[in-house]
């Protein structure tokens, strides 16, 4: 689910660009949603990138660097993109739309399953295992939601 911050950013960029409502709705329909609130965390990132590129082309926006982009990592440590992916996947399965809660719950998950206190301490190998673990959790949640929908 898209975060409140992402939804605000989407609407800010929409207004900066001067995007009319009809075209905006068509963009949302390309993600099979009616409203930005129904975008997944990852879909919201994609839409924000599209809108930012348009705003930059119009000289109305300056793009900020991606999270962890300026972080120096030695070869065996998890890459910046792995760290971003872990956080993004976690946000999609996190049941509260709250950054602080998501960070704390991710840390708790890492500590209990991987004996790591924070994503910053992950090696590439462990990061791959974390990604697979979160994807497995996401798959199980979808199965449970499907079973719940069938039983109704």
pLDDT tens for 10-52 read: 999 999 999 999 999 999 999 999 999 999 988 999 999 999 9
Residue 106, SS3 per DSSP: helix
What pLDDT, on a 0 to 100 scale, did the predictor assign at position 141? 87
User: Of the candidates 91, 7, 86, 82, which has an alpha carbon nearest to the alpha carbon of residue 44?
Assistant: 7
Q: Which residues 6+ apart lie within 8 Å of 148 measured at CB? A: none
What is the sign, positive or negative, of the torsion defined by CA atoms of 127, 117, 74, 49? positive
What is the Cα gyration radius of the chain? 18
Q: Looking at residue 66, what is its pLDDT?
A: 77
Q: Which two tokens stand for residue 142?
A: 């979808």
- What confidence score (pLDDT) does residue 76 get? 93
Q: What is the pLDDT of residue 67?
A: 82
Q: Please, are residues 109 and 129 in contact by the beta-carbon 8 Å criterion?
A: no
What is the pLDDT at residue 142?
A: 85
Chain centroid to CA 28 = 17
Q: Give the pLDDT confidence score for residue 47 in this predicted structure.
A: 96
- Nearest CA to 133 out of 99, 105, 109, 103 is that of 109
Q: Is 123 helix (H, G, I), strand (E, B) or coil?
A: strand
pLDDT at 86: 95
Check: CB of residue 122 under 8 Å from CB of residue 113.
Answer: no
* Spans in the chain with pLDDT lower than 70: 152
């Amino acid at each position: 689910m898209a975060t409140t911050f992402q939804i605000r950013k989407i609407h800010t960029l929409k207004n900066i660009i001067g995007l009319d409502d009809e075209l905006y709705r068509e963009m949302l329909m390309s993600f099979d949603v009616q409203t930005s609130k129904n975008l997944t965390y990852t879909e919201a990132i994609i839409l924000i990138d599209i809108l930012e590129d348009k705003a930059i082309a119009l000289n109305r926006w300056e793009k900020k660097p991606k999270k962890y982009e300026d972080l120096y990592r030695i070869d065996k440590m998890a890459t910046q993109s792995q760290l971003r992916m872990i956080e993004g996947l976690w946000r999609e399965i996190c049941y509260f739309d709250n950054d602080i809660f998501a960070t704390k719950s991710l840390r708790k998950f890492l500590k209990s399953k991987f004996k790591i206190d924070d994503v910053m301490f992950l090696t590439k190998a462990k990061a791959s295992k974390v990604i697979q673990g979160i994807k497995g959790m996401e798959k199980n949640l979808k199965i449970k939601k499907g079973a719940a929908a069938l039983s109704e």
